[in-house]
Amino acid sequence: MARAVQILPVSDEAIARAAELLRQGGLVAFPTETVYGLGAAARDPAAVRRIFAAKGRPADHPLIVHLAGADDLGGWAEPSPLARRLAEAFWPGPLTLVLPRRPTVCDEVTGGQAGSVMSAFEPLQDCFRHTDQTMSEAGLGAEITGDPANPQIILSARDHMACLGATIPDMGGSSLYELSLEATSVSLRDPKFCLYLRGPDTCTKIPAGGPWQGWTRYETLVSPDPQAVETRMYLYGRRDMDTQQVARVGYRDVKVRPVASPVSVVLVREPDTSRDVLDADRTVSVGYDRLNPANFTVSGSGTGVLALTETYAPGWRRVGANAEHTSVQGWMNAWPLDGSIDTTLTYAPAHRARLALYLFPFAAALGAASIVWSIRRSRRIAAAGRTAGQR
């Protein structure tokens, strides 16, 4: 059934009509500084679900809530005194605060993630199978209780090492993340966890935690690695070194949350002496698509310098252009424009890491075939030598 769509010019009457539609659970499209947004009453879960249905948006992708001012912050988040003072001083304005949400905020708005970009944990694995024992025979187990979106986990192990893994699909969409959790030693061994980088095949270096007597909070900041094909979170249950008793550790409230502005592509304008230009914003958003943390496709037109809001690194390059790679405003990757913005920005080390990862199975197969051929050749030579000796 077709529904009527009203297009209204900006006026007090149009704003009043839009507010009435929002109160009735309807959707309203409105212009922002870059694109048109689709809005609904953030306190109405049914209305929020209509946004996801209309846009075909995945249900686990959070939405933005627009507030009239700092006075409304307490109804949506749990700000510290410092955060509240910052909001009162700088809002409205370009200030981002990452805060715990209020329990009254519906899951439809937050995508059920409460700020975390980590996916659900996968089934229990045996991460150190040095014997033929099954997981049950090795005393491996995982007790998962509480909210499935934020469970409490008890890992147990006797002979091998228990582990739970979860992907972090959007790692790289922001320039900085907070890893936080609570952990405890239940018996024999201490907790151990790892942010694993697939590609470099190593764990991110993070500070040690503990002591783990009782539930102990752990927090640290981590930056995404552009060389990683995938980033995963692992929780470990380490074995009893004497393999006599079952060691147990606990984890809860495990989150990986973005705490810095998302990485984006902007056009940095070079101001002249005109007062109007000097007063205007120095950066303007351009059209781009983030294929993964190490590849951006960019389109549009304009004058100035093309910039990637990611800390400067020599590995970034602009595909198909000979423009010099430099930095602007002391930290962003930048390339002077040569008339066209249509291009791809890529991180070369990540490209090589992905290529190596994809070629590894073929290289391994080729190596195995070479070993088999060498063994057979050696056997043929040995057999020929024995035959010659018998003669």
Residue 115: its pLDDT value, please? Answer: 64
92 and 181 housed in the same domain: no
243 and 330 housed in the same domain: no
- Tell me the CATH number at 72: 3.90.870.10
Beta pairing, strands 202-203 & 216-222:
unpaired
Asked if residue 375 is part of any domain, the answer here is: no
| Phi, psi (degrees; rounded to nearest 5) at 346 | -140, 150
Residue 231: its pLDDT value, please? Answer: 92
Which residue among 110, 143, 173 closes a domain?
A: 110
Residue 2: its pLDDT value, please? Answer: 46
Residue 388: its pLDDT value, please? Answer: 64
Per 3-state DSSP, what percentage of the chain is helix, strand, and coil (rounded to 5)?
25, 30, 45
Residue 276: its pLDDT value, please? Answer: 52
Asked if residue 230 is part of any domain, the answer here is: yes
Which domain does 22 fall in, by range? 12-110
Run of H or E including 237: strand 230-237
Residue 143: its pLDDT value, please? Answer: 94
Chain position carrying tokens 């939405």 = 63
Residue 111: its pLDDT value, please? Answer: 67
- Tell me the CATH number at 198: 2.60.120.260
Low-confidence stretches of the chain (pLDDT beneath 70) = 1-4, 33-34, 58-60, 103, 111-115, 173, 259-262, 269-285, 302, 323, 330, 338-340, 349-358, 360, 386-391
pTM here is 0.51
Residue 262: its pLDDT value, please? Answer: 63
Residue 226: its pLDDT value, please? Answer: 76
Contacts of 295 (CB under 8 A, 6+ apart): 344, 345, 346, 347, 350
102 and 133 housed in the same domain: no
